[in-house]
């Protein structure tokens, strides 16, 4: 069968690539065409556009690139129509994907499946109307989403979390020694603190310099940045100290060796927890006081990190908007280092979180459900 997939960022590329591999197991004749990234390219098929051409974040960048965004959207709509796949699989990225879904539902008979649900439980809950109207099946990767969608009389299928799969797959390759990792990346013998400052330029610009400033108080540690795919090293250098190291394509290897981490919100917070690395969630935004007000009065959830949302309690400290100051980062980082007040409690909470997420196999379960459903149509 023919599968058309659309992703808009690095985490979507990872999870979609694993889904594609699982689909190949269920359907050896599978053909792929996609808006995606390098990991999806490695699986096979035709990459129509790279997600780097789509990833604009924040009001001003989106406004400045509106013509490009609409041009990409129109191109995508017509490309899906022309190829006429057996199914269109949308992966997260709701601002773009829900517009595509609306058009395809209205103009074709192509089944629409959503893998990794739009986070409408956080905000824009009104989008449930669009999902119920345009999406034929939704595959959830967060356990609490089942009850949320049930409340809206829209059944979803929880398949497990693909981050569990990705970390499990990485660990199957064997444990790398700390010495090897340090030698390969020209690091010294000090304990490592990982800096995961986001996958988009705006996130990196807003957060990395503050993380680096806080790092100056911890000379006994070395701070190593996990470079995001698609971001040029020169961009990072604008916000880094001269002695800060950066590694690309090695996020999991870095987390495996880290004693602690400073992490922007998103998938990375969950991946860090799965490696049992104590973390502080850091997410600075401009107009911090306004954002904090909106968070208290507009957002429908208590937390922004996946770790806390899944656990339904504060497992990791979230320094958000005007709360993300250098002094706050220093204090919270001290608490999760070896001997810190919060370290043991956080690791215990991680164990409960990992149990709640369930066993590996999300990609395989989703692929089986997709193929089985299509055969029945």
CATH number, domain containing residue 366? 3.40.50.2000
Report the candidate in 114, 64, 74, 124 with the shortest Cα–Cα distance to residue 93.
Answer: 114
DSSP conformation letters of 50-74: EGGGT---SHHHHHHTHHHHHHHHH
Q: Are both 145 and 9 inside the same structural domain?
A: yes
Query: Of 134-143, 298-307, 331-340, 344-353, which range is least confident?
Result: 298-307
167-190 confidence digits (pLDDT tens): 998 999 888 999 999 999 999 999
292 assigned to some structural domain: yes
Q: What is the largest CA-CA distance in the chain?
A: 61
18 assigned to some structural domain: yes
Report the candidate in 37, 38, 39, 44 with the shortest Cα–Cα distance to residue 3.
Answer: 44
Number of domains in the chain: 2
Report d(CA 41, CA 43) in Å as an integer.
5
Q: Are both 49 and 147 inside the same structural domain?
A: yes
Distance of CA 60 to the CA centre of its chain: 22
Report d(CA 129, CA 132) in Å as an integer.
5
Query: Of 197-201, 235-239, 295-299, 311-315, which range is least confident?
Result: 295-299
Residues 6+ apart with CB under 8 A from 173: none
Q: Are both 18 and 144 inside the same structural domain?
A: yes
User: Span 336-357, mean pLDDT?
Assistant: 96
Of the pLDDT bands very low, low, confident and very high (cuts 50, 70, 90), residue 59 is very low
Asked whether 360 and 13 are in contact (CB, 8 A), the reply is: no
pLDDT of residue 296 exceeding 60:
no
Range of the domain at 299: 170-357
223 assigned to some structural domain: yes
Rg of the chain over all Cα atoms, to the nearest angstrom: 21
Q: What's the chain's average pLDDT?
A: 90
**Other CB atoms within 10 Å distance of the CB of residue 280:** 26
Where is pLDDT greater, at 229 or 222? Answer: 222
165 assigned to some structural domain: no
Asked whether 145 and 117 are in contact (CB, 8 A), the reply is: yes
pLDDT of residue 298 exceeding 80:
no
| Residue 2, beta-bridge partner list | 31
2-14 confidence digits (pLDDT tens): 999 999 888 889 8
Q: Are both 139 and 268 inside the same structural domain?
A: no
pLDDT of residue 201: 87
Q: Are both 130 and 266 inside the same structural domain?
A: no
133 assigned to some structural domain: yes
232 assigned to some structural domain: yes
Token representation of residue 189 = 């013998």
Q: Are both 258 and 368 inside the same structural domain?
A: no
Q: Are both 147 and 208 inside the same structural domain?
A: no
Report d(CA 57, CA 282) in Å as an integer.
17
Helix (H, G, I), strand (E, B) or coil at 86: coil
Q: Are both 132 and 269 inside the same structural domain?
A: no
Angle at alpha carbon of residue 229, lines to 318 and 31, rounded to 5°: 115
Report the candidate in 10, 7, 15, 8 with the shortest Cα–Cα distance to residue 226.
Answer: 10
Report d(CA 140, CA 135) in Å as an integer.
13
Burial class (CB in 10 A: 0-12, 13-18, 19+), 340: middle
Report d(CA 271, CA 116) in Å as an integer.
16
Q: Are both 190 and 323 inside the same structural domain?
A: yes
Q: CA–CA distance from 354 to each of 93, 123, 306 (Å)?
A: 25, 26, 12
55 assigned to some structural domain: yes
Q: Are both 30 and 59 inside the same structural domain?
A: yes
pLDDT of residue 60 exceeding 50:
no
Q: Are both 249 and 340 inside the same structural domain?
A: yes
Q: Are both 365 and 344 inside the same structural domain?
A: no
Report d(CA 76, CA 96) in Å as an integer.
10
Report the candidate in 323, 374, 313 with the shortest Cα–Cα distance to residue 346.
Answer: 313
344 assigned to some structural domain: yes
């Amino acid at each position: 069968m023919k599968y058309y997939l659309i992703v808009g960022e690095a985490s979507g590329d990872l999870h979609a690539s694993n889904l594609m591999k699982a689909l190949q197991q269920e359907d050896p004749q599978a053909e792929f065409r996609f808006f995606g990234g390098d990991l999806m390219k490695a699986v096979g098929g035709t990459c129509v556009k790279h997600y780097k051409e789509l990833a604009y974040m924040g009001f001003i960048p989106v406004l400045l690139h509106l013509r490009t965004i609409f041009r990409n959207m129109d191109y995508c709509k017509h490309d899906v129509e022309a190829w006429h796949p057996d199914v269109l699989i949308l992966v997260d990225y709701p601002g773009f994907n829900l517009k595509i879904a609306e058009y395809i539902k209205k103009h074709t008979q192509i089944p629409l499946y959503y893998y990794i649900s739009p986070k409408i439980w956080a905000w824009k809950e009104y989008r449930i109307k669009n999902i119920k109207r345009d999406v034929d099946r939704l595959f959830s990767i967060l356990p609490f989403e089942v009850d949320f969608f049930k409340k809206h009389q829209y059944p979803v299928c929880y398949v497990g979390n693909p981050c569990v799969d990705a970390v499990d797959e990485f660990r199957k390759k064997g444990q790398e020694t700390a010495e090897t990792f340090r030698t390969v990346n020209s690091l010294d013998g000090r304990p490592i603190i990982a800096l995961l400052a986001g996958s988009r330029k705006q996130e990196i610009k807003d957060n990395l310099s503050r993380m680096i400033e806080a790092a100056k108080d911890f000379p006994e540690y070395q701070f190593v940045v996990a470079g995001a795919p698609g971001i040029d090293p020169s961009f990072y250098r604008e916000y880094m100290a001269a002695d800060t190291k950066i590694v690309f394509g090695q996020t999991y290897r870095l987390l495996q060796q880290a004693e602690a981490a400073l992490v922007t919100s998103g998938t990375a917070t969950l991946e860090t927890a799965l490696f049992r690395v104590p973390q502080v969630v850091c997410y600075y935004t401009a107009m911090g006081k306004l954002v904090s007000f909106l968070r208290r009065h507009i957002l429908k959830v208590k937390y922004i990190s996946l770790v806390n949302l899944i656990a339904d309690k504060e497992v990791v400290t979230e320094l958000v908007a005007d709360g993300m100051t250098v002094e706050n980062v220093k204090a919270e980082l001290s608490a999760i280092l070896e001997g810190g007040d919060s370290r043991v409690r956080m690791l215990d909470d991680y164990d409960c979180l990992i149990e709640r997420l369930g066993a590996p196999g999300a990609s395989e379960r989703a692929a089986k459900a997709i193929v089985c459903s299509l055969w029945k149509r």
